[in-house]
Amino acid sequence: MTLKNDHYTYRITWSEDGNEYVGLCAEFPSLSWLAGTPEAALRGIRKVVADVIEDMQKSGEAIPEPIANKHYSGKFMVRVPPQVHRKLAIEAAESGVSLNRLASAKLSQ
């Protein structure tokens, strides 16, 4: 089976241990596919994902939404220890920027 409008997030990486390429899918972290070329690893993991989705549909399981299809507000809360909060607040003040801007810059590095 192949998926129509496949918007899942795939990554191909090299496995030194296996001496092969590994195909991965962020939305299905338990799945992988090993192959001799990056192209074959991508084809393999896409087929595995399509087969798993087909099985999930047959059994009535909820299918993960592709990350690319989700809408993000740009806001999320991060809890840090008080001493880290203080350190970042001081760094932001010394840099003349808001704590939010400093945290955003650090997270985007």
Q: Which residues pair with 32 in a beta bridge?
A: 24
pLDDT recorded at residue 104:
94
Cβ neighbourhood burial of 84 (10 Å; 0-12, 13-18, 19+): exposed
Rg (alpha carbons) of the chain, rounded to whole number: 20
Contact 107, 88 (CB under 8 A): no
Q: Would the pLDDT of 108 be above 80?
A: yes
pLDDT tens figures, 83-103: 999 999 999 999 999 999 999
pLDDT interval class at 4 (50, 70, 90)? confident
Contact 20, 33 (CB under 8 A): no
pTM comes to 0.76
| Closest to 66 (Cα-Cα) out of 23, 5, 2, 13 | 5
H/E run at residue 24: strand 20-25
pLDDT tens figures, 41-100: 999 999 999 999 999 999 999 999 999 999 999 999 999 999 999 999 999 999 999 999
